[in-house]
Amino acid sequence: MIVLGIESSCDETSAAVVRDGRECLSDVIASQIEIHRRFGGVVPEIAGRNHLLAVIPAVDEALRKAGVKKEELDAVAVTYGAGLIGCLLVGVSAAKAIAYALGIPLVKVNHIQGHIAANFIAFPELEPPLLSLVASGGHTSIVSVEDYNTYVPVSATLDDAIGESFDKVARILGLPYPGGPEIDKRAKRGSANIKFCPNLHVRGDLSYTFSGLKTAVVNYVHNLKQRGEEIPVDDVCASFTAEAVGYTVDTFIRCAEERGVKRLVLAGGVAANSYLRSLLAAECEKRGFELFVPPPSLCTDNAAMIAARGSFALKDGKDIAGLDLNARSVI
Ligand code: KG4
Ligand code: ZN
């Protein structure tokens, strides 16, 4: 089964060809990072217009790199949400047109489920059931994957996503967009000697909240600026990372223990964070949990993960969409 995937939910236009949900034949990513950097973040209208320019060339390149003719495709899988509506609409419209022209099924893919499915490409032997943490610019969610097509949301953030808080903290520190990788680099040089939010687990349940931590960092930096004092950027990065990641990992591990699940996977752009990867690996090792973490290229937005998720759905006749499929900013 050969599936073309299309992803355009934020600032990456991506097209990929995947065989049997597991084998990535091509994964073309046209990143808009340089375009949005001068604004310090993604400008939705500009992102949508650039997706429009990039989507068909990305599809052509994905087919060429995979050595697959469009007539050989069995289906088109596309991210229909969650994401920026004007951006999603470009991918959805392109996917509909291709599916209609080729007379093949159109499969709608939930972006969060797509992130998780990246693990099925990275680890061809991996099978559900498993518990996954999706840590990205738009989401911080724990999802229980009960079988290949049953994804049950367990917990999510009440406010900001973890990646969003990385990006906001980076911005206040004057670091370039996207802030996550910059903070990751700086944190390695700094020391985690500043306490921002003493108790992030204040609610005592499995939900996440990052806005308090973000605000504490912003206030700390503003206070130093007002007093004309130098900002210890590397220490702020290390301290913020320690709190944000420590809290994220604690909650995820607690969730796994409560549910008695021993197979864990990580997904989403923030899964590229070196401290998150190492802390989670250490905590899993202590408890004898299996942990799967995809390579960074499959953690950030890409269409291979969308094609993978779509392939498993197609196999069971699930999530087949009509040409009336619409994009959704929230799912
Ligand atoms: O999954 P993704 O590509 O897009 C969304 O679906 O949101 O995630 C992008 C997010 C951004 O917030 C970016 O700063 C963050 O992932 N990110 C990182 C790292 N690499 C990317 N955050 C922390 N450390 C990193 N190394
Ligand atoms: Zn994403």
Q: Going from the N-terminus, what domains does the chain have, and what CATH number goes with each?
A: 2-121+299-321 (3.30.420.40), 128-293 (3.30.420.40)
Instruction: List the shell of residues around ion ligand 2, using CB closer than 5 Å.
Output: 136, 301
DSSP 282-327: HHHHHHT-EEE---HHHHSS-HHHHHHHHHHHHHTT-SEE-TT---
Separation of alpha carbons 300 and 268, rounded Å: 6
Contact 128, 146 (CB under 8 A): yes
H-helix or E-strand spanning residue 108: strand 106-110
φ, ψ of residue 67 to 5 degrees: the values are: 70, 35
Q: What is the dihedral of CA 317, 55, 15, 94, to 10 degrees?
A: 10
Contact 180, 269 (CB under 8 A): yes
pLDDT on residue 255 = 97
pLDDT on residue 189 = 98
Gap from CA of 326 to ligand 1 centroid (Å): 26
Contact 318, 108 (CB under 8 A): no
Q: What is the pLDDT of residues 70-109, one digit of tens each?
A: 999 999 999 999 999 999 999 999 999 999 999 999 999 9
Gap from CA of 177 to ligand 1 centroid (Å): 10
Residue nearest to ligand 1 atom 2, measured at CA: 269
Extract the tokens encoding 10: 């934020």
Residue nearest to ligand 1 atom 16, measured at CA: 269
Gap from CA of 265 to ligand 1 centroid (Å): 16
Closest CA to 87 of 129, 135, 35, 130: 35
Contact 6, 91 (CB under 8 A): yes
Contact 4, 17 (CB under 8 A): yes
pLDDT on residue 177 = 86
46 residue type, one letter: I
- Closest atom of ligand 1 to CA, residue 111: 6
Residue nearest to ligand 1 atom 3, measured at CA: 300
Q: Is 300 in the pocket of ligand 1 (CB under 6 A)?
A: yes
Q: Is 7 in the pocket of ligand 1 (CB under 6 A)?
A: no
Contact 193, 187 (CB under 8 A): no
Separation of alpha carbons 62 and 50, rounded Å: 18
Gap from CA of 38 to ligand 1 centroid (Å): 18
- Closest atom of ligand 1 to CA, residue 139: 7
Gap from CA of 292 to ligand 1 centroid (Å): 18
- Closest atom of ligand 1 to CA, residue 83: 6
Q: Is 170 in the pocket of ligand 1 (CB under 6 A)?
A: no
Closest CA to 271 of 125, 78, 47, 118: 118
Ligand with minimal distance to 298 CA: 1
Asked whether the whole model's pTM tops 0.85, one would answer: yes
Q: Is 181 in the pocket of ligand 1 (CB under 6 A)?
A: yes
Q: Which residues contact 129 (CB under 8 A, 6 or more apart)?
A: 144, 145, 146, 147, 261, 263
Contact 98, 4 (CB under 8 A): yes
Residue with tokens 């495709």: 73
Gap from CA of 12 to ligand 2 centroid (Å): 9
Residues of the chain short of pLDDT 70, as ranges, are none
Closest CA to 141 of 119, 124, 163: 163
Contact 50, 35 (CB under 8 A): yes
Gap from CA of 185 to ligand 1 centroid (Å): 13
**233-259 and 162-172 are packed helices; what angle lies between their axes, rounded to 10 degrees?**
170
Contact 281, 291 (CB under 8 A): yes
H-helix or E-strand spanning residue 98: helix 85-102
